[in-house]
Amino acid sequence: MEATGYRLSVEGKMGEGATIRLAGRLSLNDLQPLMADLQAIPGRMKPLRLSVDLAGVEYMDSAGALALIELENLAGSLSIPFDLLNVSGKNHGLLGLIDREALRRPPLRPESVRPSVVENLGELARRQVRDFFEIMSFVGDLVMALAWSLAHPRSVRWEEVRFYMKRAGADGLPIVALISLLLGLIMAFMSSLQLKQFGANIYVANLVTLAMVRELGPIMTAILVAGRSGSAFAAEIGTMVVNDEVNALVTMGFDPIRFLAVPKVLAAMAVVPILTVYADLFAILGGLIVGITGLDLTFFTYVQQTKASIRIFDLATSMIKAVVFAMLIAGIGCQRGFQVKGGAEGVGMSTTSAVVSAIFLIILADSAFAIMLHYIRQ
């Protein structure tokens, strides 16, 4: 047992009056053992009266005084009369500095209790339901704002639309082209490993073209745009919310959704289909490179197979998918931006949520398209 700077002895019998004699130093260094020793005595002896003799105390700081006050409060809660004996003038002044009423008040912030699994699931469900209703409300406002803009085209900030078309489209083309080219290379190479066994190298062109035009082109482009532009939309609007710029727009009589969200949505709807076409072309180019260099196919043969595998219906549905994905990306990005609360941390959380939610909605919408188009093609 570690040595302490204080000495404690108890005089008296159980059920009668008890006197605690303290000596030495009552300091912060020994606060925990001192409080444990003092508070164990009333429960152990159950005295009719409790006294503390401080005649032998050489030094006492505020921590020692707090331990004595806590003992006094404990005795009061047990209805045991309490006295302090032989208190020096200095120690008496120190005891008088402690606010006894403040110690009896409950803490402003109660101790955190770890929630159970059921509580966590309930809280998660509550947040998801609230988030769903907020998204639906925003979708309604956005559809009304788009309808108003179509009916009043002069009210649209076309300069902002062109600006966001450049940011989301022209600035995003290099990364979309690079990823699509590499994707076409990988698909052609991996498929050729299997098709070579059957002497069907020529069908690599069909596989790459159909996969990119029908599925991978729109969805990969949408995911890249969500990561680049959807996050930027959320961060931009979120920063304006934090800086009270959105409230300033409302004060000046502007509709924030029409002023901020509509240009972004229109720009995304205009450029994502174009980026999808470029993604398809660069993926086909990647497949062409593998076909010519590794599969002994001619340029003319590969192009002919590509043309034969594409139908107008596939191109049209690919463009429809791209438009829907663009609306989801821009819409959820703006919604998460308007939802920001707090400072920089809130903007960061909103940006992350915008990207994750957009990717989830893209995959969900693509699944719905896959089912619908399967029955339509039949």
Residues of the chain by 3-state class (helix, strand, coil), percent to 5: 75, 10, 15
| Distance, CA of 53 to CA of 10 (rounded, Å) | 10
Q: pLDDT value at position 174?
A: 92
What is the pairing mode between strands 18-26 and 6-12? antiparallel
With 0-12 / 13-18 / 19 or more C-beta atoms within 10 angstroms meaning exposed / middle / buried, residue 24 is middle
Pair of tokens at residue 123: 């809280």
- Residues sharing a CB contact under 8 Å with residue 318, sequence separation 6 or more, in sequence order: 213, 214, 217, 218, 276, 280
| Distance, CA of 50 to CA of 66 (rounded, Å) | 17
Q: Provide the residue ranges of all domains of the chain, joining segments of one domain with +.
A: 6-104, 155-377
Q: pLDDT value at position 162?
A: 93
Contact 292, 179 (CB under 8 A): no
In b/e form, how buried is each residue of 155-170, taking b as 16+ CB within 10 angstroms? ebbeebbeebbebbbe
Q: What is the pLDDT along the chain (378 residues), one digit of tens a residue?
A: 456 788 888 888 777 788 888 888 888 888 888 888 888 888 888 888 888 888 888 888 888 888 888 888 888 888 888 888 888 888 777 777 777 676 666 655 655 667 778 888 888 899 888 888 888 888 888 899 989 988 888 888 899 999 999 998 889 999 999 999 999 999 999 988 888 878 788 888 889 999 999 889 999 999 999 998 999 999 999 999 888 888 898 888 888 899 899 999 999 999 999 999 999 999 999 999 988 888 888 888 888 888 888 889 989 999 999 999 999 999 999 999 888 887 788 888 889 989 999 999 999 999 999 899 888 876
Q: pLDDT value at position 72?
A: 84
Q: pLDDT value at position 1?
A: 40
Question: Count of residues for the chain?
Answer: 378
The helix (run of H) or strand (run of E) holding residue 366 is helix 344-377
- Predicted structure pTM score: 0.68
The sign one gets for the Cα dihedral 59, 60, 64, 68 is positive
Question: Of 3.30.470.10, 3.50.50.60, 3.30.750.24, 3.30.70.140, which CATH number belongs to 6-104?
Answer: 3.30.750.24
- Residues sharing a CB contact under 8 Å with residue 56, sequence separation 6 or more, in sequence order: 7, 21, 22, 23, 24
DSSP one-letter code for 171: T
Contact 210, 314 (CB under 8 A): yes
Nearest to 54 by CA among 100, 8, 3: 8
Contact 55, 7 (CB under 8 A): no
Three-point CA angle 30, 34, 37, nearest 5°: 150
Q: pLDDT value at position 33?
A: 85
Q: pLDDT value at position 51?
A: 86
Q: Distance of alpha carbon 317 from its chain centroid, rounded?
A: 33
Contact 38, 3 (CB under 8 A): no
Pair of tokens at residue 142: 């956005």
Neighbours of 37 (CB within 10 A): 18
Half-sphere exposure of residue 53, counting CA atoms within 13 Å on the CB side? 12
Pair of tokens at residue 299: 């340029």
Q: pLDDT value at position 74?
A: 83
Q: 19 has which bridge partners?
A: 11, 51
